[in-house]
Structure 1
Amino acid sequence: MKKYIILMFAVLLGLSWYTAISDMVNRPKNAKAHIQKAAELEEKEIYVDAVTEYEQALEYDPDNIDTRIKLAKAYLNSGNSNKFTSICEKTAEAYPEYAEALNILIEYYLENGYEEQAVKYLEAFVKNHPEHKKAKEWFANLKGSYTELYCHYEEMGDIVNGSMVVMKDGLYGLADARGQEMIACEYKEIYPFSEDGFALARKEDGAYIYIDKAGQTRKAPDGAFRELGMISSDRAVACKEGKYGYLDENMEPTGKFSWDALTGMEGSTGFGKKDEKWILVNQDGKAKGEKKYNDIIVDENGFCASQKCIFVKEKKEYYLMNPKEKKIGRQTFDDAKAFTENGYAAVCRDGKWGFVDTEGKLVIDCAYEDAESFCNGFAAVYIDGKWGYIDTEGNVIITPRFETATHFTKEGTAAVKIDEGGNEVWKLIQLDLKR
């Protein structure tokens, strides 16, 4: 009896081995048969049944990337785009070394105008696979694709508070972030709108006024004041008889005009210059500190303390500090550019530019010939004689081709100067993903 049981066990084991080996031998043949049948059905545009054949083929060979791709395409041809994207995403995640699933998925998104979905998926994919070269290429290309808007001005500037200075026929006005005229070009000089909603303008007779967005004069300083600045924190810089001080919201002096130079007021932070040294001042233009600095970095509108970060110079080096004059970080620099309302600031060491965050940490190495501070996720950088743009990871998202490049706005627009056959022309570009 015992021998009989052993014999039966051996027979059953042999049969199972035979079945397993036979299945292993036949699996490729069976998968191939289903794939061939699916192809025949696709030729007849019977995509629903082709899907079934591809699914059966995958049961025999589940790791076959080519069959997975064919299944995804069959689903798309059958009208089931959700299954198409699902299979592509799962295949790309499970087999990141094969880029085909990722490629056809992103191509599908772009061909159908789903750029935002493409970027959202790529952001997650790159986070899981940070070294995936193709995904990073797709991501950079998508973020950097742009369209030139119809906008013809002789000069264009940075877009600040939704407005930018433009020039036509030798006179200046304001346009919005898409290049539409806000204030006609009829002034000798003009600044963008401040957060308070007023724009400083100088008329052809030399008089300074502050206008609202309807172009109406709202504030008219005394004619004795010259070289005025943008209104911020209810203060405006002004010059009288060669010395600088602040005017309040009523265009009245808040204190003595005794400074050789003066920055705009941000919150309660401003700096005055006297005897070649800079010192912290209050809203009345009075010194409120004792420490003196060799230099202060200001932006193009005369401000120095965006994001509560200030670059000051002692001896031969710049460093970062807060409005309470407390040093931020330990880094020092040969030069710097002021922070914008958001993003990293450009800094220079040994003739090369990189970027620091608001904690004073070097986040992008000093490797560029020149650079502008980040704004809304992008920064202009100068490479081989041209300006282009990088993202916060240091990826080049717009290849350098511009003669001049300004900050990007939250709407995804920026003014750039392009060489067209020897003529330098200002253009307004719009990132496609922000349209």
Structure 2
Amino acid sequence: MNFINLIFSKLGFYFALLAFFTLPIITFAQDDDGWEKATEEDLKTTVDTTIIERKALLAYGGDSIKIASVEGKLGVLNDTNATIVPFQYEEISFFEGEDSTCTRWEGTLLVKGRGKYGVLDATGKPLTALYEKIEFMPESCQSGSGKTKVMRFYNRGKVGLADAYGNVVIRASYEEIDFVKYLFSRYGDTTETEKLVKPELITAKKAGKYGLFDLHNNVPLLRSEYNAIEHLQMVRVEEKKKTHTTHILKIQQGTKYGFILLHNQSILTPKYEYLGEFSTEKGNTKGEAEDLIALVQEDGKWGWINLEGKEVIKIEYDAAEAFRKDLAFVRKGRKWTAIDRKGKQKLEDTYEEIRYLALETEKNAFFKTLIIAKKKGKYGILDIEGKTLLNFEFDKIKFVPEKFGFDVEVNGEEKFVNLKRG
């Protein structure tokens, strides 16, 4: 190589190097996900801006970020007014819901550009693809598990589920997606709040039918073939000297009901027209699976099954009511009686009507055990053992708790009586 060629070779190298360093800097490019490329010009510090909202971020050392506007476009600045999200969006908001105690989504941003939505972190890094719509799920704040940090996204009118990193957990092929929740109240508190079932579950609706997805273990539990899936109750099941606190979900196919027991994922195929709550002695919801029983209706008849799905009180009654403590009212033909949890008859079977005097919420424990019954067209009062406390001689009878007695009617005459006069 001669001296002239050597000079031109060196000059070509330096010109190429200079051209490389003067090219616009690309900060992110998500072409496949619909994001536009941001150039160095987009990210220049903007002075003439209107600050829309500022938020300090504890998870980022107390630094703050600011949603700002310039010439009708929205972007995000950091504490030094450097642009971390370019001013090219129609909408930007903090993606964290209304619960001020929830810090799981701190600094996460929801942006809208050209009619599409995406989620970015506090540094401006895109976390999701761009979708027709992205929804915050406030229930995602109820658990510390990373599995529950999820969001709904919509594509072509269908909804799916994505995690906090934008990974698709459930494809966008459903009409509805929701967490499974139940109502919970602390002892002595009448206020009920919604809590997530644990492990966390999702119901997904497709073609009008619901399926069940275990979000914690990332596996489907039930195919989308049920008319409804809803929380029935929480119970404590004793097995091999261990107690499992678990949930029962009632599942419906057509007009028939069954259930799924979550701790062992056992499923009772829907076959009953009615399925009540499970309980054991004195109404407790703790016991062995064989002792926890529920009222069911099959082919028009009523009886009881246990948590193993076995019939424990024969399904043969024309009508029945759930147990209160250890007594249930049942009817065969036209006459009512009462049975215990073994199916043994506890009252005579001569009553045309029978019901408890007061609701279980009645403060007076004694009155909660009393029974109004009708025999030969007349009403009277029984105790829990079947002893008559007011004779069967009244055409009408109404309990008046504040007077500890009864307004009654006999042959058109109205009067007040109490148990002492029975």
State the TM-score bracket (shorter-chain normalisation). 0.3 to 0.5
Looking at CA atoms only, which structure, 1 or 2, has the larger radius of gyration?
2
For normalisation by structure 1, the TM-score amounts to 0.32
For normalisation by structure 2, the TM-score amounts to 0.33
Higher strand share: 2
Which of structures 1 and 2 has the larger relative contact order (alpha carbons within 8 angstroms, sep 6+)?
1
Higher helix share: 1
